């Protein structure tokens, strides 16, 4: 009987750990996806994303960026107008509902209207870089915090061919992964 109890305890513990890890993983994925969507709503995020998708040549870069920036600015103006119209409609609804609702209902409705606007981008992290909204998240270009600037030297560490740090690249001059297996930012897939 003792072996059965131990087996059941191990099974329950494994299930509990799996549930906790699943919840944590889902929360992280949801937060990351929400941040990606909010970054695309802002003009710089849209422009950077579209530049990564298009991958313009050096000769095209300035013209493409000017066009993307103009569209991003126009899109932001449309969104601001829509946000204002939505807010005005919700304010009118609250005024029209007020005489029909009891005190508790009006209080709940007022509390809901004081929630942060879901259409606005999240606030930036505090200047010290710790805590707050966006803590521990990557910058808009997807690099890890504190990494080298885009186009800068690679980070120190083991080379892509798996050799020890500081070892020369393979003698035949080949790269460790074919170019097709790399994403546009040069990271192996």
Dihedrals phi, psi of 118, to nearest 5 degrees: -70, -15
* pLDDT band, very low/low/confident/very high, at 189 (cuts 50, 70, 90): very low
Tokens of 9: 């305890």
- What pLDDT is attached to residue 179? 47
Question: Pick the residue with more confidence: 30 or 183?
Answer: 30
Tens digits of residue pLDDT in 159-180? 555 555 555 555 555 554 444 4
Whether pTM > 0.75 for this model: the answer is no
Judged by phi (left if over 0) then psi (alpha if -120 to 50, else beta), residue 173 lies in: left
pLDDT at 153: 61
Judging by beta carbons within 10 Å of its beta carbon (0-12, 13-18, 19+), is residue 48 exposed, middle or buried?
A: buried
* Over residues 89-106, mean pLDDT: 90
Q: What is residue 20's predicted lDDT score, i.e. its pLDDT?
A: 94
Condensed to tens digits (0 to 9), the pLDDT of residues 34-92 reads 877 766 665 567 888 889 899 999 999 999 999 999 998 898 889 888 888 888 888 89
């Amino acid at each position: 009987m003792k072996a059965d109890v131990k087996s059941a305890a191990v099974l329950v513990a494994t299930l509990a750990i799996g549930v906790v890890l699943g919840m944590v993983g889902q929360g992280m994925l949801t937060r990351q996806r929400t941040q990606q969507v909010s970054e695309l709503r802002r003009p710089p995020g849209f422009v950077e994303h579209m530049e990564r998708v298009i991958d313009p040549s050096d000769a095209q870069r300035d013209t493409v960026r000017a066009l993307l920036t103009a569209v991003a600015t126009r899109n932001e103006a449309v969104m601001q107008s829509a946000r204002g119209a939505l807010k005005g409609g919700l304010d009118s609804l609250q005024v029209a509902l007020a005489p029909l609702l009891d005190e508790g209902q009006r209080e709940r409705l007022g509390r809901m209207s004081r929630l942060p606007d879901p259409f606005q981008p999240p606030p930036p992290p505090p200047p010290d870089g710790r805590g707050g909204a966006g803590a521990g998240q990557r910058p808009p270009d997807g690099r890890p915090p504190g990494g080298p600037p885009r186009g800068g030297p690679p980070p120190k560490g083991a080379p892509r061919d798996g050799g020890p740090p500081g070892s020369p690249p393979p003698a035949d001059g080949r790269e460790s992964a074919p170019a097709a297996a790399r994403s546009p930012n040069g990271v192996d897939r």
